[in-house]
Amino acid sequence: MRIASTLVFTVSILVSGAVSAQYDGPGASPATTVKAAHTARHVTSVVLTGNLVEQVGREEYTLRDSTGDIWVKIARHLWDGRHITPETTIRITGSIQPDRTTSRVDVEKVEVVGATDGS
């Protein structure tokens, strides 16, 4: 009986430790600049703040921040009827998808930063 109790106690500690464990090292935080996004690994999370300066495809745009430019893919449903101009500062959340020659961000969320949303 004592062995069974010890075994149950040990297993419960191991399970609870595994549930609360998380990675806390390089790459754990999302990339927050275009420069960092260009050097991030495939499927790394990003949260970038900048301006869309050019449409380069049907759902592809160039996002610019103070560290550079990166291509972003924004599905039409993410616009939510907002009118975004190059002067509108936005924050995008997404993940890095390396292309053949450069990195691209597949955007999951678009937020307008500040009061000016272009509408």
9 domain-assigned = no
Q: What is the pLDDT, as a whole number, of residue 28?
A: 60
With beta carbons less than 8 A apart as the criterion, state whether 34 and 65 touch.
Answer: yes
40 domain-assigned = yes
5 domain-assigned = no
The whole domain housing 72 covers 25-112
Whichever domain contains 53, its CATH number is 2.40.50.200
How confident is the chain (119 residues) per 10-residue block, as mean pLDDT? Answer: 55 45 55 88 89 95 96 95 94 86 90 67
Domain count, the chain: 1
Q: Where are the alpha helices (DSSP H) in the chain?
A: 2-20, 34-39
**How far is the CA of 68 from the CAs of 10, 23, 62, in angstroms?**
51, 29, 10
Burial class of residue 48, CB neighbours in 10 A (0-12, 13-18, 19+): buried
52 domain-assigned = yes
pTM, two decimals, is 0.70
Angle ∠(49,52,55) on CA atoms, nearest 5: 150
59 domain-assigned = yes
